[in-house]
């Protein structure tokens, strides 16, 4: 199997999973491991997601409990900004961003899954927002013009993208010079046990699609960004009832007592004002 075939298969897994998620309520997602039913305990919502309920702009109907951070909290969004949310789902982060950018700004949500886009548009119509737009598209080839965004946010999505280097290159391209991103994502430190790494179910649940933290940070640098920093970091302690679906008892002990692990990070970076890199001075 070549790399291209593998990437397309992984994309299809994500598309199928998140199409199913789009048709479920938040409570249903909370009771299943990947945000979609697969016969195990809650991974995404209980273990990874942060609480949005007290944040201005929070829309309960748009919260599917799939994130691993609060990127909008760190994104330095200003009145009048144009904000792009990568992997916008049912629209929750877009609506939070809209509360910050105001009526004079614009928010564009990009999602890979048609059913998610449809759900987000219904939610935007309910709220009467005219400056929040949802587009279907691939993060590796965004249907967004270059130099459009003041700010890019994303919540536990880029780790699902097979070609992360291309995803960061596209993020660089759509940002204005001097623009920035704040992205919450899942990364690894040390070797993840093979039982987790190879599981397609966990891939769709934001774990096995993750890469090493150092590699992730280096990709951002190689894309041309500067002022790169981790704004928030927390270890994801997966409960034993989840780990036992993939690992033996001895492997669980080794994993929980070792230095390796799964982490949620919120990363900030800027597109330089003066630069000459692909997507910067075309």
The 10s digit of each residue's pLDDT in 136-179 is: 999 999 999 999 999 999 998 998 888 999 999 999 999 999 99
Mean pLDDT highest for which of 8-22, 214-228, 256-270?
A: 214-228
d(CA 252, CA 239): 10
Least confident of 121-125, 195-199, 222-226: 195-199
d(CA 50, CA 45): 8
> Is pLDDT of 41 > 70?
no
- Residue 244's pLDDT is 85
Q: What is the pTM of this model?
A: 0.83
d(CA 151, CA 77): 7
Mean pLDDT highest for which of 36-45, 195-204, 262-271?
A: 262-271
- Residue 8's pLDDT is 76
- Residue 22's pLDDT is 58
d(CA 158, CA 162): 9
**If you average pLDDT over residues 70-82, what whole number do you get?**
96
How high does pLDDT run on average in the chain? 83
Q: Which residue has the higher pLDDT, 89 or 280?
A: 89
Least confident of 49-53, 103-107, 134-138, 180-184: 49-53
| Sequence-distant contacts of 140-144: CB under 8 A, at least 24 apart | 140/166, 140/167, 140/170, 141/166, 141/170, 142/86, 142/110, 142/170, 142/173, 142/174, 143/110, 144/84, 144/108, 144/110, 144/174
Cα atoms found within 13 Å of the Cα of residue 121, Cβ hemisphere only: 12
Instruction: Tell me which residue of 268, 276, 264, 277 sits closest to 50, measured CA to CA.
Output: 264
* pLDDT classification of 209: cutoffs 50, 70, 90: confident
Least confident of 49-63, 104-118, 119-133, 158-172: 49-63
Q: Is CATH 3.40.50.150 the classification given to domain 3-270?
A: yes
Q: Are 58 and 95 in contact (CB under 8 A)?
A: yes
> Is pLDDT of 73 > 90?
yes
> Is the sign of the CA dihedral 78, 124, 43, 142 positive or negative?
negative
**If you average pLDDT over residues 212-231, what whole number do you get?**
97
């Amino acid at each position: 199997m070549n790399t291209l075939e593998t990437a397309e298969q992984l994309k299809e897994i994500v598309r199928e999973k998140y199409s199913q998620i789009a048709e479920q309520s938040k409570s249903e997602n909370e009771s299943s491991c990947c945000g979609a039913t697969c016969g195990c305990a809650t991974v995404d919502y209980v273990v990874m997601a942060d609480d949005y309920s007290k944040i201005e702009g929070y829309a309960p109907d748009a919260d599917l409990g799939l994130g691993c951070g609060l990127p909008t909290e760190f994104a330095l969004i200003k009145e009048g900004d144009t904000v792009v949310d990568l992997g916008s789902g049912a629209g929750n982060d877009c609506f939070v961003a809209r509360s910050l950018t105001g009526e004079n700004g614009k928010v564009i949500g990009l999602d890979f899954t048609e059913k998610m886009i449809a759900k987000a548009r219904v939610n935007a119509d309910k709220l009467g927002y005219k400056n929040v737009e949802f587009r279907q598209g691939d993060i590796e080839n965004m249907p967004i013009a270059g130099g459009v965004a003041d700010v890019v946010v994303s919540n536990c999505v880029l780790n699902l993208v097979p070609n992360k280097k291309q995803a960061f290159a596209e993020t660089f391209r759509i940002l204005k010079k001097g623009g920035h991103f704040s992205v919450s994502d899942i990364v690894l430190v040390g070797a993840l046990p093979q039982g987790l790494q190879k599981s397609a179910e966990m891939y769709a649940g934001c774990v096995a699609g993750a890469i090493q933290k150092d590699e992730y940070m280096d990709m951002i640098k190689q894309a041309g960004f500067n002022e790169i920093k981790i704004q928030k970091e927390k270890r994801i302690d997966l409960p034993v009832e989840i780990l036992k679906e993939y690992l033996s008892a001895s492997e669980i002990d080794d994993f929980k007592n070792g230095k390796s692990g799964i982490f949620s990070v919120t990363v900030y970076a800027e597109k330089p004002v003066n630069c000459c890199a692909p997507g910067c001075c075309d």
